[in-house]
Amino acid sequence: MQILMQCISRIPSGLRFRLLLLVLIACVPLVGLTLRTASEARRRERANWNQRLQRIQQLASIEEARLLGQTRQVLLAVSEAAPVRSGNERACYRLLNEVYSNHPNYANLGVLTTNGDVLASVRPFGDGGGQPDPQVFRQVLQQRGFALGEYRPGSGAAKPVVNIGFPAIDRRGQIQAVVLAALEPDWCIRLFSDLKVQVPGSATLTEMDANGAILARYPPTEPGKGQPVLDQPLVKAVHAESRGTLEARDSKGVLGWYAFATRHSELLNADVVSILGIPEEALFASANRQLTRNLAWLGVAVCLALALGWVGSDVLVVRPVRALVRASARLAGGDLSARTGLRHGTDELGQLSRTFDHMAEALQERERQRQLAEETLQARDQMMRQLPLFPAAVCVCDQFGAVQLYNRAAVELWGCEPPDPHASQSFCGSYLLFHPDGTPMPHNESPMAETLRTGIQVQSRELLVGRPDGTRVPVLASVVPLRDSEGSLMGAVSCLQDISERKRAEERLQETHDRLQLLSRRLVESQETERRHIARELHDEVGQSLTVAEMNLQAVLNSPTASRLKEHLNESLQAVGRVLGQVRDISLSLRPSMLDDLGLEPALRWYTRQQAGLTGLQAAFEADTLKDRLDPVIETACFRVAQEALTNVSRHADARSLTVTLRQEDDRLHLVVRDDGVGFDVGAQRQQAVQGASLGLLSMEERATLVEGTLELRSAPGQGTEVHAWFPLKWRSPES
């Protein structure tokens, strides 16, 4: 007996008991998780019950809207039928019965005269067919249109219905009769095809009005609709809020869950409360079964774990010791990645395994650092051998930005030796750095600093290197990060390419372009001056001479002695008149005097009308009023672009109409020439113009560019063409 007590007293301090205790403690969270899962399942069931009610309400609203639209169409068709218009009672009765057979969801259909007498009805009013609503009857007569009545609870044998009316109007506009349709409020429940799916067998769906009277119920129960059947405490709780879920007992004392929500009924024109109830046992049946199943499996698992812990305690103790022996053997053999793989607990085995693992990690880290140092030295030696071979300036910085290596080309580019690696000037061996616009660039903002900060390479970044003698060298900087075998950033390599020759070539090219543009501008100005001179000469000299010749011929024609030469004189006068008109047209085409005398807007308006008159186009001209005359150069360029665009419209567009718009937009003048012609492919046309097939497009672009403007073409085959030109707003100076 004493030996047995000693064994029992040693059980709590043994490893086996600790293992079993740990198993039991580990099972406690599983029990809590199982209970929490059951609670979440119940919460989801309640949420799903609310969502089920929302879906039912959405279906009800959709069905109401569909039925109202259907009723409007049915009443309209009945009101336009010949029997209703003629007032034939027998024919109306046959018509209503035919409509009722196709639409049996109506409680009654009837036709009333304007005096309120029943002309015909499917079912007698008052005998299960409801009563006609006088208010609906008056609304139809007053509004001469569709009228929806209020919900009327049933009294006696009559059913609660909603009356809908529509007038029958003859060709003279007089109301001849009123067509009524009676609809029971539980139509939607009777029509729902999937109501059995939405409402389980043990659940109930009830719809009430604001007074607590039942409008519809599924499955149907007594008493009839319009009478309250729910418990008053439940009805009060439902009407206290617009939406929610509550737990209550029904009239039989069964505890259940009720989801309720208020919706606006278009049919009843009032708020309706929908209540979806189900016994608690039915609602949580699935969750309860899942909880029972989970607890049963958890009990089985706990018993199995205890049995395994009791039987396999020796294995669980011996296994860690064997793991320690194997790890020690691997470490002694040179495998520094050897670990025990055991949990580092607070017991003796845990402390031993933790100490062993930390020792192995320290040895492995030392070996990794040694290998990394060897790799760095090898990479540096290799780079030192290759740096002199690079024609461009190359330098290497460590991860802190200190210059470590550089070649002779870098020293020649910098104009000096790099500073001390421990000095404040880092990231580059140059004396100074500048942005391309000449503003100073701190060394900590250089491409090298950016790469060391972000780890992303920089390609072809343009900057200026300042030398100690004050000169600046334009370079393209490219920086590539250096990483070790593990991917850690250990520095970066910078390559600086001298682009002085390229910059000088670009400057020469820009200078040549500027000279060509200046030459083109002077050529256009000379052309306009020559045109102006020729136009004035034609108008002043040749025009005046022809006018004098015409006057002399007219005088000779009117003399008494010219009877024999009258025919020849008339021909001469006509020829002189034609030549005089051609001289005037040529003068205006060369340089319209209106452009110099009146300005751009009148000249464009005149030229647009002239082109429209010559080609038969429908032309429109719109322009903003300018506060002053523009610079003559701007006026000429804008007029010539519009002239070329209008010429292209008349020659190639095959258009019926065109619009010329001149707008002032901030500090720019916007010219738009738009037509509805055949259009064209802008890219293909531009390619042809470059090849010399057409000079009109290049001429317009050149004139816009010469005055610092821009030109844009928008066109596509079959979609017309738009020419947009923008010019700077430069006002006329007194010298002009």
Task: Give me the CATH number covering residue 635.
Answer: 3.30.565.10
Residues 6+ apart with CB under 8 A from 492: 396, 397, 448, 451, 452, 479, 480, 481, 482
- Write down the pTM of the prediction: 0.39
Amino acid of residue 498 = D
Do 475 and 621 lie in a common domain?
no
Nearest Cα residue to 609 out of 594, 631, 596: 594
Q: Which domain holds residue 656?
A: 593-728
Mean pLDDT of the chain: 76
**675, 660 Cβ separation under 8 angstroms:** no
The per-residue pLDDT for range 101-131, each reduced to its tens digit, is: 888 778 888 888 888 888 888 888 765 555 6
The per-residue pLDDT for range 61-90, each reduced to its tens digit, is: 888 888 888 888 888 888 888 888 888 888
Provide the residue count of the chain.
736
d(C-alpha 210, C-alpha 218), whole Å:
19
In a 3-state reduction of DSSP, which class is residue 393?
strand
Do 284 and 397 lie in a common domain?
no
Tokens of 109: 């259909």
pLDDT of 424: 43
Do 127 and 263 lie in a common domain?
yes
Phi, psi of 665 (to 5 degrees): -120, 100
| Greater pLDDT, 317 or 116 | 116
Do 237 and 92 lie in a common domain?
yes
pLDDT of 672: 92
The residue out of 290, 309, 331 marking a domain boundary is 290
d(C-alpha 226, C-alpha 426), whole Å:
91
Specify if 555 maps to a domain.
Answer: no
Amino acid of residue 387 = L
DSSP assignment string, 9-45: HHSTTSHHHHHHHHHHHHHHHHHHHHHHHHHHHHHHH
Nearest Cα residue to 59 out of 67, 48, 70: 67
d(C-alpha 654, C-alpha 613), whole Å:
15
Specify if 48 maps to a domain.
Answer: no
d(C-alpha 172, C-alpha 191), whole Å:
40
Does residue 152 surpass a pLDDT of 70? no
Find tokens 């607590």 and name the residue. Answer: 212
The residue out of 262, 290, 318 marking a domain boundary is 290
Do 113 and 258 lie in a common domain?
yes
- What's the burial of 487, exposed, middle or buried (CB within 10 Å: 0-12/13-18/19+)? exposed
Do 404 and 269 lie in a common domain?
no
Do 491 and 604 lie in a common domain?
no
Specify if 341 maps to a domain.
Answer: no
Specify if 635 maps to a domain.
Answer: yes
Do 490 and 621 lie in a common domain?
no
Do 283 and 422 lie in a common domain?
no
Structure confidence at residue 661 as a pLDDT band (50, 70, 90): very high
Q: What is the CATH number of the domain that holds 240?
A: 3.30.450.20
d(C-alpha 85, C-alpha 168), whole Å:
7
Specify if 378 maps to a domain.
Answer: no
Do 121 and 248 lie in a common domain?
yes
Specify if 503 maps to a domain.
Answer: no
Do 127 and 266 lie in a common domain?
yes
pLDDT of 225: 46
The residue out of 498, 532, 554 marking a domain boundary is 498
Q: If you average pLDDT over residues 579-587, what whole number do you get? A: 58
Tokens of 184: 């029971």
Specify if 1 maps to a domain.
Answer: no
Specify if 25 maps to a domain.
Answer: no
How many folded domains does the chain comprise? 3
pLDDT of 562: 56
How open is the CA angle 154-158-162, to the nearest 5 degrees?
55
